[in-house]
Amino acid sequence: MDEGGSRIRRRVSLPKRNRPSLGCIFVGPTAAELEPGDEGKEEEEMVAENRRRKTAGVLRVEHNDSEEDMFGDYDSFTENSFIAQVDDLEQKYMQLPEHKKHATDFATENLYSESIKNKLSITTIGNLTELQTDKHTENQSGYEGVTVEPGADLLYDVPSSQAIYFENLQNSSNDLGNCSMKERDWKSSSHNTVNEELPHNCIEQRQQNDEDSSKVRISSDMNRRKSIKDHLKSAMTGNAKAQTPIFSRSKQLKDTLLSEEINVAKKTIESSSNDLGPFYSLPSKVRDLYAQFKGIEKLYEWQHTCLTLNSVQERKNLIYSLPTSGGKTLVAEILMLQELLCCRKDVLMILPYVAIVQEKISGLSSFGVELGFFVEEYAGSKGRFPPTKRREKKSLYIATIEKGHSLVNSLIESGRIDSLGLVVVDELHMIGEGSRGATLEMTLAKILYTSKTTQIIGMSATLNNVEDLQKFLQAEYYTSQFRPVELKEYLKINDTIYEIDSKAENGMTFSRLLNFKYSDTLKKMDPDHLVALVTEVIPNYSCLVFCPSKKNCENVAEMICKFLSKEYLKHKEKEKCEVIKNLKNIGNGNLCPVLKRTIPFGVAYHHSGLTSDERKLLEEAYSTGVLCLFTCTSTLAAGINLPARRVILRAPYVAKEFLKRNQYKQMIGRAGRAGIDTTGESILILQEKDKQQVLELITRPLENCYSHLVQEFTKGIQTLFLSLIGLKIATNLDDIYHFMNGTFFGVQQKILLKEKSLWEITVESLRYLTEKGLLQKDTICKSEEEVQHNFHVTKLGRASFKGTIDLAYCDILYRDLKKGLEGLVLESLLHLIYLTTPYDLISQCNPDWMIYFRQFSQLSPAEQNVAAILGVSESFLGKKASGQAIRKKVDKDVVNRLYLSFVLYTLLKETNIWTVSEKFNMPRGYIQNLLTGAASFSSCVLHFCEELEEFWVYRALLVELTKKLTYCVKAELIPLMEVTGVLEGRAKQLYSAGYKSLMHLANANPEVLIRTIDHLSRRQAKQIVASAKMLLHEKAEALQEEVEELLRLPSDFPGAVASSTDKA
């Protein structure tokens, strides 16, 4: 049956029902029953006899005369019948000796296998009767009084032909020995899920049968079955003869029920028992959820091919590469769901940016609530180390690169790395990008070295030197050039547009001349004809204009709006007014003057200068078509998915650097929206002087990615060695060198190392760490000749790698914290904020000395005392502000760090980015990034202090400070902002509407939210409710586990050992 067809979902789970049902009559046989021999006969006779004894006392149901038989026109057992087809199946099965010993796990739903579909073609029965109890059968009084205890006879309401077979299934499954209590509990908990998968009429039938079905007598003529054919033949005839409630025919089950049971038998023979259903081994409910939540009803051909690759089925590591918008993420999500639901293992998904992590959390929380797994956020300051160990449900960890590394470290340290079944890395090409690439490489190398059962899946749109990555990850490779929407690439020189054509002599062919009447004023203002290019698509279609810098984004947006006609103001005018109103609300009445002028035309800029609230609101307005044009920087191309009909590259530059092929592909990849556009266009605007470079750009291959493990010294190889020794992965020189050979750098060492060998670099790095006081060397004499040097981490070394502190700053941090203990000022938060202000942002800070002096003079005496302790005096700032020469030497880094602390301190007091932005004359986006960085660094400092006894006083203080920096809102809004996707503006709206706690949100009706909260889409409302439910379930589960842990008898309890000895 086609995987997209309608199916009846059913599961038999006998030990879990208090009352049996007629809902499951046909069940595929076990492998044990298929083996010939006298032993099988004897067992069946014994089971039959046992069954007769069990049902001897069951009351007889009132006889019903029914002329209908169960099989309609298909009761023939001739050559073309269903039984004959099953006989063919059995014969093929008997020729496959390797399948004879497969056991059947009848509680799972093995309903589909593409490989079997190709091997065996079985025609389903055309006219099948529905099993339905007659509404007039009401003789129930004797039945209702019977109480069925767990473990008692649960089969008294099914025909004798099935009852014996169910017992055989039970016996054979008990022999498996690998069905743990946890699995059975999970299956029980998923019972409701299965019911939801049934069509409405089938659910009603099942409920009615559970209530109305009566007891039947067991016939004893079923004791000589040897094969599937004989068994099913006997089962059908027995069903027809047995005294059962009246059944009526239904054409709704025509091509479904028996076909499902055939598939159960086929799957039992052909595959393992972790197959739960027809949608790539997942229940059909997963397919329904994708249709419901994401509108995906059918997979692309390449997605099907990728999911059915042998390497995927065999759980080998995989790298796959497709153009942007090709649908890579869906494949990863299905593989993650397989791991969570079928293999019962945790999954880690690593994404490049916090915004993408939060978007993915919102998108997958609904699946977690429906399918019974947790979705946990590891980004910024969020995430628990080690993660909570769940009793039953599995966890999907969605993390940034840095938090993913910390998570893997904590799992290795706690001995739980094998619980991680799958790691998915999006944008795998980032392994070649600076310190973040080095961190990603370390994470993957540790997983490969410490866990042989964890599968790694990497995906990217821009990979070139795949062979190196394959060797590093020991992975298979799959690629396709598929795009759901055709992409046409154009170049614009002056007023001529050329289409990029690889077959042409110079790489491009003439397409058209721009036909747009330009006034002299417009020509001066818009020499690149941007107005002409955008007005060809907006407002009916969307457009992105990529600009080289943030300031250029704002200028271009304003310039375009100056020359747009007044007609553009009328397009979705009401909705655009709502956007402006909401922007004012989240800015406490403040609105960017540029956005105030451009949004009425449907135009806005998008860059890092926006706050998170503003960015989220504008993105939603763009996605819904209220805004039709974004002028943006290249970061949007690597961020969340905002596709457009046309993408225009304002110039072949990012800032002052010439465009790279990878960046170009990322940007133009946003052109063409699947399901909306039939084609996508990209236009690169260039000057004559750049023509040759651009022609090279569009024809050359993608850039190779190279390891930065050694290049990023303190954040790369040194951090790696410290954690290897701290986690006891490798503690001597030979083991560390062996580990390094298995890294991405080890694979590329011949290319990357010119002057020194890998061995020399390893020795030098270990010597440096030892000299810095992070490692200690132990000498072990194995023999008179052989001496081995082992390493172990010092307390400072352990604190540094546990806190993921950049080793360039770890000794400075230790010194600052130590000095802070001598006179920690707790009358305000200023001193603590200074200690958690990130070191790496200091170099970017250029204080405005007048503002600095003014803010200093407004401090209280206690706050000025903090500055004095740090060595920054009022006289120093006064001289700097007035431009006088400074004779006394003051540490510039301390001065700059204190200035950033002032910004953060003011922000925590006022909780309004706009007012702080005006006070310090800083972009509001920069202040938001400073706040996010401080929250993350505060979390790192907290973990650093937890490893050093002398800093015990900081622990409780930093927990609260981290929370304040993370949310930076009034205390009453924090519970709402814990929900992924709820930022300050939305939290205020929800609080004003009466939703004041997590419980309120988790129990909210999305439809009511849409009506009560301004500018909230249905998709957003559903995601917020799902995220709240997920978070509430996580907290409830954690509390439940804590209770059970408290009530559990300790393993080291004195009497426990003695009692176990007595029993032995």
Q: Is the dihedral of CA 670, 605, 586, 828 positive or negative?
A: positive
- Kindly report, residue by residue over 357-384, the tens digit of the pLDDT: 988 998 999 999 999 999 999 998 888 8
Least confident of 72-81, 449-458, 613-622: 72-81
DSSP symbol at 859: S
Under the banding of pLDDT at 50, 70 and 90, the label for residue 10 is very low
What percent helix, strand, coil does the chain show, rounded to 5? 50, 10, 40
Strand order in the sheet with 646-649: 508-513, 496-500, 486-493, 679-686, 646-649, 543-546, 629-632, 603-606
Cβ partners under 8 Å of residue 860, min gap 6:
827, 828
Read off the tokens for 73: 């026109």
Under the banding of pLDDT at 50, 70 and 90, the label for residue 241 is low
How much is the pLDDT for 948? 94
- Kindly report, residue by residue over 184-234, the tens digit of the pLDDT: 444 444 444 334 433 444 434 444 444 444 433 334 444 444 455 566 666
Residue 398 has pLDDT above 60, yes or no: yes
The residue among 770, 712, 662 whose CA lies nearest residue 401 is 712
Please give the average per-residue pLDDT across 963-991, as a whole number: 88
Q: What are the helix (H) ranges across 55-137?
A: 82-94, 114-119
Cβ contact 431:705 at 8 Å: yes
Cβ contact 672:680 at 8 Å: yes
Residue 81 has pLDDT above 80, yes or no: no
Q: What are phi and psi of 343, to 5 degrees?
A: -90, -10
Cβ contact 264:28 at 8 Å: yes
The residue among 595, 607, 660, 672 whose CA lies nearest residue 633 is 607
Whole-angstrom distance, CA of residue 940 vs CA of residue 761: 28
Residue 641 three-state SS: coil
How much is the pLDDT for 186? 42
| 279 burial level (CB within 10 Å; 0-12, 13-18, 19+) | buried
Residue 823 three-state SS: coil
Least confident of 205-219, 345-359, 613-627, 926-940: 205-219
How much is the pLDDT for 223? 44
Q: How many helices (H) and strands (E) does the chain have?
A: 50, 19
Give the largest Cα separation in the chain, rounded.
Answer: 112
How much is the pLDDT for 93? 52
Question: Would you mind telling me the total number of residues written for the chain in this entry?
Answer: 1064
**Pairwise pLDDT comparison (832 vs 31), residue with the higher score:** 832
What pairing do the DSSP bridges indicate for beta strands 486-493 and 496-500? Answer: antiparallel
For the CA atoms of 370, 371, 374, 377, what is the dihedral angle to 10 degrees?
A: -70
Type of residue numbered 336: M
How much is the pLDDT for 618? 93
Q: What are phi and psi of 455, to 5 degrees?
A: -90, 145
How much is the pLDDT for 33? 41
Q: What are phi and psi of 478, to 5 degrees?
A: -130, 135
Read off the tokens for 762: 């390893």
How much is the pLDDT for 95? 54
Residue 816 has pLDDT above 50, yes or no: yes
**Pairwise pLDDT comparison (57 vs 82), residue with the higher score:** 82
How much is the pLDDT for 23? 40
- Kindly report, residue by residue over 108-155, the tens digit of the pLDDT: 334 334 433 443 333 333 333 333 334 343 443 343 343 434 434 444
Q: Is the dihedral of CA 245, 248, 249, 253 positive or negative?
A: negative
Asked if omega into 386 is within 30° of 0 (cis), the reply is yes
Read off the tokens for 233: 């033949």
How much is the pLDDT for 346? 96
Residue 24 has pLDDT above 70, yes or no: no
**pTM of the complete model beyond 0.85:** no
Cβ partners under 8 Å of residue 879, min gap 6:
885, 886
Helix (H) / strand (E) containing 924: helix 924-946
The residue among 281, 256, 405 whose CA lies nearest residue 339 is 281
How much is the pLDDT for 507? 84
Averaged confidence pLDDT in the chain: 79
Cβ contact 790:782 at 8 Å: no
| 835 burial level (CB within 10 Å; 0-12, 13-18, 19+) | buried
Place of tokens 């806190």: 803
Read off the tokens for 695: 């022609």
Please give the average per-residue pLDDT across 389-403, as a whole number: 91
Q: Where are the beta strands (DSSP E) in 402-468?
A: 420-426, 455-460
Helix (H) / strand (E) containing 211: helix 200-212
Residue 689 three-state SS: helix
**Pairwise pLDDT comparison (101 vs 796), residue with the higher score:** 796
Residues β-bridged to residue 397: 348, 376
Read off the tokens for 422: 């799958």
- Kindly report, residue by residue over 148-185, the tens digit of the pLDDT: 344 344 444 444 444 444 455 455 444 444 444 444 44
Read off the tokens for 1063: 């029993």
Quick one: three-class SS letters along 702-770?
A: CCCCCCCCCCCCCCCHHHHHHHHHHCCCCCEHHHHHHHHHCCHHHHCHHHHCCCCCHHHHHHHHHHHHH
Whole-angstrom distance, CA of residue 1004 vs CA of residue 1010: 11
Residues β-bridged to residue 492: 497, 685
Least confident of 78-92, 363-377, 976-990: 78-92
For residue 800, what are the CA distances in angstroms to 312, 764, 797, 941, 956?
38, 19, 5, 9, 19
Please give the average per-residue pLDDT across 899-903, as a whole number: 96
| 907 burial level (CB within 10 Å; 0-12, 13-18, 19+) | buried
DSSP symbol at 970: -
The residue among 532, 500, 925 whose CA lies nearest residue 545 is 532
Cβ partners under 8 Å of residue 723, min gap 6:
409, 442, 446, 729, 801
Whole-angstrom distance, CA of residue 427 vs CA of residue 445: 17
Residue 995 has pLDDT above 90, yes or no: yes
* Rounded to 5°, angle at Cα 975 from 974 and 980: 90
Please give the average per-residue pLDDT across 822-844, as a whole number: 92
Under the banding of pLDDT at 50, 70 and 90, the label for residue 642 is confident
The residue among 842, 843, 773, 775 whose CA lies nearest residue 811 is 773
Please give the average per-residue pLDDT across 57-86, as a whole number: 44
Cβ contact 369:1030 at 8 Å: yes
Residue 559 has pLDDT above 90, yes or no: yes
The residue among 68, 8, 126, 6 whose CA lies nearest residue 249 is 68
Least confident of 76-80, 529-533, 701-705: 76-80
Please give the average per-residue pLDDT across 484-508, as a whole number: 90
Cβ contact 595:646 at 8 Å: no
Percent of the chain at pLDDT above 70? Answer: 73
Under the banding of pLDDT at 50, 70 and 90, the label for residue 985 is confident
Percent of the chain at pLDDT above 90? Answer: 50
Residue 488 three-state SS: strand
**Pairwise pLDDT comparison (637 vs 733), residue with the higher score:** 733
